[in-house]
């Protein structure tokens, strides 16, 4: 479908954040792409929407706090496509939190299933049985995997690199599944002079780490993988991180999300750099 009617700010702007003794920290403001589809979410969805058949429903998947579900709900509503979501946790309901309330407001039909059933769906690569599809009213649906993952997502994430006007000495980016950084690495030239710092929000993401570091090695790109071990685990927000976030917002006039980008900020502050440092702000801050 034609994407020109989608209200998204791309290319996203790159702003100077601060001067430090041996360089400058810049931020690529993917968080400004859209208030509800911020950061890497539209990057990941774009390719899917380009090829979607608007006459058929879309079936997607996510947890109760999923930024992907929120983004998909907005984009589907904007395109007037019927959206169906399978949500992890049978005990939940649309009233559970602001994310699910938002999805309901956007017209997403949600089915809440047990975690064990959700795990099987993940193992089956988001291919439900005919009975499940029938039960969810999704027999003719197009499947959008959890997190918007897939080849389309990688394509969209490549654009982050291709939108840059200047090549940074260091690139800082948060990682969950590693899709965003993989897309960036795919777009970088072989033997790029940019050192990539991946700050994993997930503790012990060994598979992702192995996949990403091996790919960087293949491309002769210097990559450092920062394991989340210093911060206590995915979604954990220790007091010192909260305090850092508050100070950041006070200083720069906008908030960074606590799960991903706060850790990039903490990483920047703990390490020394030289030259042009670029932080890709992957978004994740929403107003309820
Ligand atoms: C705000 C934000 N930043 C970063 C990420 C990590 O992206 P990826 O899973 O592509 O590594 C996510 C993942 O959903 C996210 O919501």
pLDDT digits (tens, 9 = 90+) for 110-163: 999 999 999 999 999 999 999 999 999 999 999 999 999 988 999 999 999 999
Q: If you measure from the C-alpha of residue 216 to the centroid of ligand 1, how many angstroms do you get, rounded to a whole number?
A: 19
**What is the structure's pLDDT at 229?**
73
Does 276 lie in the same domain as 251?
A: yes
Ligand 1, pocket-test mutation among 34, 40, 177, 207, most atoms within 8 A of CB:
40
Instruction: Please give the share of the chain, as a percent, with pLDDT higher than 70.
Output: 99
Q: Whose CA is closest to 274, among 169, 195, 194, 193? A: 169
Residue bearing the CA closest to ligand 1, atom 13: 176
Tokens 């992702």 -> residue: 208
CA-44 nearest atom, ligand 1: 10
Round the average pLDDT of the chain to a whole number and report it: 95
Q: If you measure from the C-alpha of residue 251 to the centroid of ligand 1, how many angstroms do you get, rounded to a whole number?
A: 24
Q: Is residue 5 part of a domain?
A: no
Q: Is residue 49 part of a domain?
A: no
Dist. CA 177–CA 127, nearest whole Å: 19
Number of domains in the chain: 2
Q: What is the mean pLDDT of residues 158-172?
A: 97
Does 53 have pLDDT greater than 70? yes
Which residues, at least 6 apart from 64, have a Cβ–Cβ distance to it below 8 Å? 87, 88, 89, 92, 96, 97, 99, 100
Q: Is residue 119 part of a domain?
A: yes
> At 225, phi and psi to the nearest 5?
-100, 115
Q: Is residue 27 within 8 Å of residue 21, measured between CB atoms?
A: no
Query: Which among 117, 140, 163 is the end of a domain?
Result: 140
Query: Which among 140, 163, 187 is the end of a domain?
Result: 140
Residue bearing the CA closest to ligand 1, atom 3: 282
Q: Is residue 220 part of a domain?
A: yes
Does 249 lie in the same domain as 166?
A: yes
pLDDT digits (tens, 9 = 90+) for 61-108: 999 989 999 999 999 999 999 999 999 999 999 999 999 999 999 999
Domain span at residue 78?
57-140
Q: If you measure from the C-alpha of residue 125 to the centroid of ligand 1, how many angstroms do you get, rounded to a whole number?
A: 19
Q: Whose CA is closest to 135, among 111, 103, 119, 114? A: 111
Does 65 lie in the same domain as 29?
A: no
Query: Which among 113, 140, 167 is the end of a domain?
Result: 140
Does 225 lie in the same domain as 158?
A: yes
**What is the structure's pLDDT at 232?**
81
Does 288 have pLDDT greater than 70? no
Residue 122 has a CB neighbour count (10 Å cut-off) of 12
Q: What is the mean pLDDT of residues 253-273?
A: 95
CATH number of 202's domain: 3.40.50.1100
Name the pLDDT band for 228 (thresholds 50, 70, 90). confident
Q: What is the mean pLDDT of residues 229-257?
A: 90
Does 235 lie in the same domain as 94?
A: no
Does 172 lie in the same domain as 264?
A: yes
Q: What is the mean pLDDT of residues 242-258?
A: 95
Would you say the CB of residue 282 lies under 6 angstroms from ligand 1?
yes
Ligand 1, pocket-test mutation among 29, 146, 155, 177, most atoms within 8 A of CB:
177
Ligand 1, pocket-test mutation among 36, 60, 178, 180, most atoms within 8 A of CB:
180
Does 220 lie in the same domain as 265?
A: yes
CA-180 nearest atom, ligand 1: 10
CA-39 nearest atom, ligand 1: 1
Would you say the CB of residue 38 lies under 6 angstroms from ligand 1?
no
Q: Is residue 287 part of a domain?
A: no
């Amino acid at each position: 479908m034609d994407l020109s009617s989608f209200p998204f700010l791309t290319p996203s702007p790159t702003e100077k954040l601060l001067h430090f003794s041996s360089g400058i920290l810049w931020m690529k403001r993917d968080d400004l792409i859209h208030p509800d589809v911020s950061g890497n979410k539209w990057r990941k969805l774009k390719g899917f929407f380009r090829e979607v058949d608007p006459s058929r429903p879309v079936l997607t998947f996510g947890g109760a706090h999923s930024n992907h579900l929120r983004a998909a709900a907005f984009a589907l509503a904007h395109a007037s496509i019927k959206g169906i979501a399978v949500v992890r946790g049978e005990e939940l309901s649309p009233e559970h939190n602001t994310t699910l309330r938002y999805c309901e407001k956007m017209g997403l039909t949600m089915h809440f299933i047990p975690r064990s059933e959700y795990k099987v769906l993940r193992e089956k690569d988001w291919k439900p049985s005919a009975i499940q599809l029938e039960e969810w009213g999704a027999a003719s649906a197009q499947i959008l995997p959890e997190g918007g993952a897939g080849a389309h997502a990688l394509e969209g994430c490549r654009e982050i690199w291709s939108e840059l006007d200047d090549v940074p000495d260091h690139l800082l980016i948060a990682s969950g599944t590693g899709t965003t950084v993989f897309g960036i690495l795919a777009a970088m030239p072989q033997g790029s002079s940019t050192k990539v710092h991946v700050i994993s929000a997930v503790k012990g993401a060994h598979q992702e780490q192995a996949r990403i570091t091996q790919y960087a090695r293949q491309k002769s790109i210097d990559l450092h993988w920062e394991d989340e071990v210093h911060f206590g685990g995915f979604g954990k927000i220790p007091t010192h991180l909260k305090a850092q976030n508050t100070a950041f917002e006070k200083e720069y006039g906008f908030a960074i999300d606590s799960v991903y980008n706060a850790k990039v900020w903490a990483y920047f502050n703990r390490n020394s750099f030289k030259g042009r440092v670029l932080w890709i702000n992957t978004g994740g801050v929403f107003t309820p």
